């Protein structure tokens, strides 16, 4: 092993990779608890399937297209097909860990990013169409965006855009794509006529708790070493998640009279999503502001904007991850600093609140590129899928539930026929 490889950093990143992997099964629990009993397995499968599909794609070509030799500042080359040339040598992106470990850590991000979108499509989209959508989305949206923001030679990276752990690459891209896909897919058959209630709130709690746990690997691991920036990212992650949860509960108490477990879980997730981008760059006090404001911003998107426009984003992927990620990107441009604890954070400029304007400007530019790519790429994918296959289940299958219609099994056999 090269003398440059640090065993401590390597152990740390292996652990963080496992934490981020855990987030996808956790997301399956989180989403699964939110839907009706007759759709829980299909919803969980629509997320969990990415552990297989995205992993294979990443080894085959995804890593190469994201982090391979630059092609036009938009996409990586094909020099790392099947992880060719990716081994135990120090990574050019993180010199104290092996290239193979860097690629493995990044694979976990490539798994959960498309999995987030599934929450907007559940209870009405064919499972085969979901899988094809996720594959195409990875190629058209995720890999180019990952290269542009994180890859050597990437257009947005060269511009100075910063995204510590995936606020743009993962949350904004998946949230905006979820909105476009949900609109183009169409509403559920009873949307606007019947209320949809979570069938298992304890399952949501378990999923949210595991997501919070995994988020420490998500953000702290993005330092690629076990030094000061990882420690800083760890504490600001927890701080923002905590503030997001408490803020959401206060909103519920004021507007509805009672705080809820679903609200606590949702608030924690939006607080975590909004700090993702700036977790390595913003001070601890700023994380409190970012997390606290995340909940009213996202709550407004869920309760007012969604109702106003009437789109059927089943599990509020856009309202939580899209809107939360947008706020996180803007907040990164406001609160980031070039040094924390006397050491460089990797940001070229301080944020707007410190009197410098460059970072805020490039963060807005990065946001616009992310939104445009997500909208255009998702619209193209949905148009192609609609042209070549039937992407929705039949009305009868939707009424019966996708667990039976798409998978031939039931999570709760004794309740079969009790859901409308």
Task: List, in order of start, the domains of the chain with CATH numbers.
Answer: 7-401 (1.10.3430.10)
Q: Nearest Cα to 100, choosing from 229, 25, 1?
A: 1
The predicted structure's pLDDT at residue 418: 58
What does the alpha-carbon distance between residue 173 and residue 7 come to, in Å, rounded to a whole number?
Answer: 34
Residue environment code for 364-402, b if the CB has 16+ CB neighbours within 10 A, otherwise e:
ebbbebbbebbeebbeebbeebeeeeebbbeeeebebbb
The predicted structure's pLDDT at residue 197: 86
The predicted structure's pLDDT at residue 264: 98
Q: Nearest Cα to 50, choosing from 79, 73, 80, 20?
A: 20
The predicted structure's pLDDT at residue 1: 41
Q: Nearest Cα to 41, choosing from 170, 196, 200?
A: 200
Structure tokens at 132: 């094809």
The predicted structure's pLDDT at residue 414: 73
Name residues of the chain where pLDDT drops below 70.
1-3, 192, 194, 415-420
The predicted structure's pLDDT at residue 195: 72
Kindly report, residue by residue over 4-52, the tens digit of the pLDDT: 899 999 999 999 999 999 999 999 999 999 999 999 999 999 999 999 9
The predicted structure's pLDDT at residue 416: 58
What does the alpha-carbon distance between residue 204 and residue 215 come to, in Å, rounded to a whole number?
Answer: 16
- Dihedral of the alpha carbons of 43, 48, 53, 57, in degrees to the nearest 10: 120
The predicted structure's pLDDT at residue 4: 87
Place of tokens 């559940």: 122
What does the alpha-carbon distance between residue 3 and residue 332 come to, in Å, rounded to a whole number?
Answer: 35
The predicted structure's pLDDT at residue 318: 97
CB atoms inside a 10 Å sphere around CB 81 = 15
The predicted structure's pLDDT at residue 417: 57
- Range list of H helices, 118-227: 127-137, 143-150, 155-159, 173-185, 201-220
């Amino acid at each position: 092993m090269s003398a440059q490889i640090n065993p401590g950093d390597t152990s740390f990143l292996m652990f963080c990779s496992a934490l981020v992997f855990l987030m996808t099964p956790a997301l399956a629990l989180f989403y699964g608890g939110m839907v009706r009993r007759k759709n829980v397995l299909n919803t969980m499968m629509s997320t969990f399937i990415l552990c297989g599909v995205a992993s294979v794609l990443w080894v085959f070509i995804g890593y190469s297209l994201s982090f391979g030799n630059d092609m036009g500042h938009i996409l990586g080359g094909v020099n790392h097909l099947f992880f060719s040339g990716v081994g135990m040598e120090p990574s050019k992106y993180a010199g104290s860990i092996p290239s193979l470990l860097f690629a493995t850590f990044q694979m976990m991000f490539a798994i959960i990013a498309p999995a987030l979108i599934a929450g907007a499509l559940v209870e009405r989209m064919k499972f085969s169409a979901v899988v094809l959508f996720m594959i195409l989305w990875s190629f058209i949206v995720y890999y180019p965006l990952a290269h542009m923001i994180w890859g050597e030679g990437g257009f947005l990276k060269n511009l100075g855009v910063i995204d510590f752990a995936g606020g743009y690459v993962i949350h904004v891209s998946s949230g905006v794509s979820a909105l476009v896909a949900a609109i183009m897919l169409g509403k559920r058959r009873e949307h606007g006529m019947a209320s949809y209630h979570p069938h298992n709130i304890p399952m949501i709690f378990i999923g949210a708790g595991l997501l919070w746990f995994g988020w420490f690997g998500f953000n702290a691991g993005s330092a690629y070493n076990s030094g000061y920036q990882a420690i800083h990212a760890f504490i600001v992650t927890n701080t923002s998640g905590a503030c997001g949860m408490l803020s959401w509960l206060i909103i519920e108490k004021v507007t509805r009279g009672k705080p809820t477990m679903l609200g606590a879980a949702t608030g924690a997730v939006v607080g975590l999503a909004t700090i993702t981008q700036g977790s390595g760059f913003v001070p601890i006090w700023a994380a409190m502001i970012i997390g606290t404001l995340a909940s009213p911003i996202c709550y407004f998107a869920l309760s007012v904007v969604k109702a106003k426009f009437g789109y059927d984003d089943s599990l509020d992927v856009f309202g939580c991850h899209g809107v939360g990620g947008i706020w996180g990107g803007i907040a990164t441009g406001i609160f980031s600093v070039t040094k924390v604890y006397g050491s460089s954070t990797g940001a070229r400029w301080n944020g707007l609140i410190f009197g410098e304007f460059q970072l805020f400007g490039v963060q807005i530019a990065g946001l616009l590129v992310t939104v445009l790519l997500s909208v255009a790429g998702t619209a193209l994918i949905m148009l192609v899928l609609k042209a070549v296959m039937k992407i929705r289940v039949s009305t009868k299958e939707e009424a019966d539930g996708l667990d039976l219609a798409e998978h031939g099994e039931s999570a709760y056999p004794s309740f079969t026929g009790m859901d409308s």
